[in-house]
Amino acid sequence: MRPIVLLDTFRKSIVRIIQKILNKIFTEKHIRKELNFAGLPGNSTSTPIHIVNNLIEYVKEEKIEMWILLQDIRKAFNSVSIISIKKALGRFQVPRKIAAFILELYSKRNIKVITKYGMTEGFEAKEEIDKGEIISLLVW
């Protein structure tokens, strides 16, 4: 049987509040550029997918060669480092205090796991975004 690590409820709640505020700002001020908006409310990956499908249909009809490079990022959020998060927050011009707060949430975290044998000794988590973390779409 594998132990389950529960996410810190306080951290998750605070990040959700921050994400909602930043989403509103990003949407109103058009901070995301070109097609980099899939993580914002009311948007999805369907637009880029339709564009690629239209391109494929066009090159088939015109008998033109086209190369497509795809990146599988299903597991990418397991490995977004604190350095990448800091760069993303800077690129989106997130105010320094908010950026510092977000970075602190993911830095030097000590984790203990409750098992059927009791609490484990603490260990320091990697400084990265956890898989499924709600802020991951915003800063990736």
pTM of the predicted model, to two decimals? Answer: 0.57
Instruction: Give the separation between CA 121 and CA 130, rounded to whole angstroms.
Output: 20
Instruction: Give the separation between CA 20 and CA 23, rounded to whole angstroms.
Output: 5
Element (H, E) at 90: helix 82-91
pLDDT, residue 115, reads 81
Q: Using one digit for the tens of pLDDT, what is the confidence trace for 59-87? A: 999 999 999 987 766 655 556 778 888 88
Return the domain boundaries, the chain. Answer: 9-43+74-139
Instruction: Give the separation between CA 4 and CA 49, rounded to whole angstroms.
Output: 35
Nearest Cα to 14, choosing from 77, 98, 125?
A: 98
Nearest Cα to 108, choosing from 124, 93, 131?
A: 124
pLDDT, residue 26, reads 77
Instruction: Give the separation between CA 4 and CA 39, rounded to whole angstroms.
Output: 28
pLDDT, residue 25, reads 80
pLDDT, residue 57, reads 96
pLDDT, residue 5, reads 55
Residues of the chain with pLDDT under 70: 1-8, 32-44, 72-79, 130-140
pLDDT, residue 66, reads 93
